[in-house]
């Protein structure tokens, strides 16, 4: 899976068991197209994400930032 979108809010850092942390954030993906009648259509999908590797990136995950997610 690979997608690009914008963060809907600042990422949240959460401590979990075993001295680990997780970064939670939501990405909004806008899709635009024209239907058969030529009318513009738009749909926004929201994807909840969790990042476990490096908690230092949380400071860069701010509302409105463009991110590309793969996984």
Buried residues in 13-31 as b, exposed as e (16+ CB within 10 A): beeeeeeeeebebebeeee
Quick: pLDDT tens for 33-50: 999 999 999 999 999 999
Q: Where are the domains of the chain?
A: 2-70
What is the model's pTM? Answer: 0.85
HSE value, Cβ hemisphere, 13 Å, CA-based, for 51: 22
Q: What is residue 17's predicted lDDT score, i.e. its pLDDT?
A: 87
Which numeric CATH code is attached to 2-70? 2.40.50.140
Quick: pLDDT tens for 1-60: 899 999 999 999 999 988 899 999 999 999 999 999 999 999 999 999 999 998 899 999
Q: What is residue 18's predicted lDDT score, i.e. its pLDDT?
A: 84
């Amino acid at each position: 899976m690979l997608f690009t979108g914008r963060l809907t809010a600042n990422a949240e850092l959460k401590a979990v068991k075993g001295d680990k942390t997780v970064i939670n954030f939501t990405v909004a993906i806008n899709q635009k197209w024209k239907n058969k009648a030529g009318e513009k259509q738009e749909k926004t999908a929201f994807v909840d994400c969790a990042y476990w590797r490096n908690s230092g990136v949380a400071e860069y995950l701010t509302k409105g930032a463009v991110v590309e997610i793969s996984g």
